[in-house]
Amino acid sequence: MKVLKHSMINAVFVGLMSFIYSFLFIFTSNHIEFFRLNSKCKTIQSAFWNGWSDFIIRGNMKFIGYVIISLTLIILLIIFLKRRKEYDEYQISILTRSLIVAGVLSIIMIPIIIIQLLSDPNYTIETIFFFAVVQWFGVLITDLIFVIKY
Amino acid sequence: MKGDLILKNIIKQLREQCGLTQAQLGAKVKVSRQAINAIETSKFDPSIWLAYDLAKFFNMTIEEIFDFEESGRK
């Protein structure tokens, strides 16, 4: 994890992943062929998942994409304004821990999504989007606190 | 016991004897104020190189600063 000592690695990683997520969310909003994948009409009618499904179908994911872009720009601005070239070992340990948490979340989530797909594909797209939003917002907010504090 | 798993040390006493702030000591050994604070409050174990730098700065041995006998092994 020594590579994390360079603040530019943090900036590039957050910038690149945020670009991918925000592109995905903004691009898929309002795409009718994508909406067909949402399957809430055939489901057990969970109020929460139906609400989330409606949120996606109304094309609101683009707003989540805009929030991701905004948060990322704030993080990048703080990194560049602070002009810190390298983090020390304590800061690297904190950054590493936050990335491990995000990684563990992904590791846990993949089999859950596979089981869901194999047993009952209802709400699968909604679940994947929900997980992606929660996970990436978690990473961005953690990184924002990190760059403000250190 | 979480506290027992962290290396106990006398960095704070040594730093105060020298009349240094955490930020000033951090600058001497090229780490942040937060790193010194985390070591002093036993929230973070320094690497062997940082422990060496701290020992060298205080003109002591690593064993004199960090209490290996009283601390739990990870």
Residue A77's contacts (CB-CB under 8 Å, 6 or more residues apart) are none
Residues of B within 8 A of A84 (CB-CB) are none
B5 pLDDT more than 60: no
Residue of A nearest to B44 (CA): A90
Choose the mutation target among B25, B29, B39, B47 for the interface with A, i.e. most A CBs under 10 Å. Answer: B47
A vs B, Cβ pairs < 8 A, gives 23
Q: Residues A94-115: pLDDT tens digits?
A: 999 988 998 998 899 889 888 8
Question: How close B44 gets to chain A, by Cα (Å)?
Answer: 7
Domain positions in chain B? 3-65
CB B39 within 8 A of CB B11: yes
- In order, the DSSP letters of A29-90 are TT-HHHHTT--GGGS---HHHHHHHHHHHTTTHHHHHHHHHHHHHHHHHHHHHHT--B--HH
CA A103/CA A90 separation, integer angstroms: 20
Angle between helices A7-28 and A61-82 (to 10 degrees): 160
Interface contact flag, B31 A88, Cβ < 8 Å: yes
Interface contact flag, B35 A90, Cβ < 8 Å: yes
Residue B2, Cβ density class (10 Å: 0-12 exposed, 13-18 middle, ≥19 buried): exposed
Residue B34 C-alpha from the chain's centroid: 12
Q: pLDDT value at position A36?
A: 64
Name every residue in B having a CB less than 8 A away from some CB of A.
30-32, 34-35, 38-39, 44, 46-47, 50
Per-residue pLDDT band for B2 (boundaries 50, 70, 90) equals: very low
Q: pLDDT value at position A41?
A: 59
Q: Residues A27-47: pLDDT tens digits?
A: 888 776 666 666 665 566 778
Question: How close A88 gets to chain B, by Cα (Å)?
Answer: 6
Pairing of strands B66-67, B8-9: antiparallel
Choose the mutation target among A82, A86, A89 for the interface with B, i.e. most B CBs under 10 Å. Answer: A89
Beta bridge mates, B62: none
What's the longest Cα–Cα distance across chain B? 32
Single-letter residue type at A54: D
Helix (H) or strand (E) holding A99: helix A89-119
CA B40/CA B47 separation, integer angstroms: 14
The more confidently predicted of residues A81 and A1 is A81
CATH class of B3-65: mainly alpha
